[in-house]
Structure 1
Amino acid sequence: MTGPRDDARPAIATLVGERVRSLRTSRHWSLDELAGRSGVSKGMVVQIEAGRTNPSIGTLVRIADAFGVTIARLVEDQRPPEIRVNGPAEYSVLWQGPAGGRATLFGGIDEPEFVEFWEWVLEPGEEQVSDDHAIGTREMAHVLTGSLTLRVGSVEVRVGAGQTALYPGDVPHVYRNDGAEQTRVHMVVTMPPGEFDRRAHRR
């Protein structure tokens, strides 16, 4: 799994670093505290805050959960006005698969609702393995084309074009394309408000 692509938004590593550092210092957390709460190593947190790495989507999820914010809060250029119209130039591609698949964050809402809107494109044979998110996180995936093999915990189902799956995001889950054609999915993720400390919720 790779991090955000460099060509689309060359300043994303710097932006994420600034956001993470600002959110951490506003809470008076040390680097060790953020590392403990998120389950991300202190060394990686240092690299992120310095803008020296494009963190993977899994790392962004863990850090956003720790702060109690959406991933959009970490990667979008500014707090949205009352009405904001996004286009491709503002979208963030936060995962690219080995065969050309991608996960695109269209946008997110922070406070009082915590919602993210994604598009996932999986080429045949590609999969994305996701850790558990903050307790209470829910996901809704609507398959536009192809079919999606979805595993949530120990349960696996196949979701066809035109079908929608609703499932908990607070257990490990996997998205996979077992078909012969491209799978395209629109996904909504809702999260509970509040910071999430993984040290207090070890499974």
Structure 2
Amino acid sequence: MSDLDLLTRSLARNVKRWRTERGFTLEALAARAGVSRGMLIQIEQARTNPSIGTVVKIGDALGVSITTLLDYERGPAVRVVPAERAVRLWHTEAGSYNRLLAGTEAPGPLEMWDWCLMPGEHSPSDPHPAGTAELVHVTRGELTLTVDGARHTVPAGASATFEADTPHAYGNEGEVPVEMVMAVSVPPVR
């Protein structure tokens, strides 16, 4: 079974599990996540490979991390994620990408990401639930971070934190790739 097949089946099983555990109907989850009921049916039947944006919306609506939605094995209290198991969820032909390195529920979803943005590339993000916080640490290049329309420059060696419940975007307007590590903390669903 390919990695993509494994992730598709894991996503199907976990979305249905968390939807059922939360007591959400397909219609209720579709409304909360802003995705169609038909898309949720396809996901729960492992008949589609949704975009990262769709997976993020579903995770936010369920109050669980992307890691939890894609988890295909429940392990011990300490979970080591080998480098080859980091999940690449977004990439461009120019070489930009992000990888979900690890995540947990503590008390809401907490994720750690590895990003690379090639010169001239941007990655926009829809608002996350109220109370979501993001932290970024740039290790190479200069990140242009736009939060709610305001642009901020984050050079190599610097870090930034922000409330991610407004539109935001990561961009590289420089000449060299931007490399950064990002943590995302989402409050638990109430």
How far off is 1:65 after superposition?
1.0
Alpha-carbon displacement from aligned partner over 1:41-100 (angstroms, at most 9, x marks no partner): 112112211212222121111111111111110012223421121112321111112312
Query: Is 1:152 aligned to residue 147 of structure 2?
Result: yes
1:52-91 counterparts in 2 under 5 A?
Answer: 52-91=47-86
Distance 1:90 1:74, change over 3 A: same
Q: Which moved more, 1:114-123 or 1:19-28?
A: 19-28
Q: What percent identity do the matched residue pairs reach? A: 41
Q: How far apart, in 1, do the equivalents of 2:97 and 2:75 lie?
A: 24
2:42 is the counterpart of 1:47: yes
**Per the alignment, do residues 36 and 113 of structure 1 end up closer, same or farther by CA in structure 2, a change over 3 Å counting?**
closer
Please point out which of 74, 95, 99 is paired with 2:94. Answer: 99
**Amino acid corresponding to residue 16 of structure 2 in structure 1:** R
1:139 aligns with 2:134: yes
What is the CA deviation profile of residues 144-168 of structure 1, one whole-angstrom value per residue up to 9, with x for unaligned ones? 1111111000210111100101111
- Residues 194 and 113 of structure 1, relative CA distance in 2, 3 Å threshold: closer
Gapped runs of 5+ residues in structure 2? none
Question: Unaligned stretches of 5+ in structure 1?
Answer: 1-6, 196-203
Give the distance between the partners of 1:112 and 1:168, measured in 2 at CA: 17
How far apart, in 2, do the equivalents of 1:107 and 1:80 lie? 13
Which one is further off, 157-166 or 113-122? 113-122
Distance 1:40 1:113 in 2: 22
Cα root mean square deviation, aligned: 1.7
In structure 2, which of residues 9, 16, 22 is the aligned counterpart of residue 14 of structure 1? 9
The answer to whether the 8 A contact 2:134-2:161 is kept is yes
Greater shift after overlay, 18-27 or 172-181?
A: 18-27
Which structure is higher in helix share? 2
Moved more, 74-83 or 135-144: 74-83
Letter of the 1:65 partner, please give it: D
Tell me, yes or no, if the aligned pair for 2:22 and 2:62 is still in contact at 8 Å.
Answer: no
Q: Normalising by structure 2, report the TM-score.
A: 0.93
Tell me if structure 1 keeps the 8 A contact 2:143–2:178.
Answer: yes
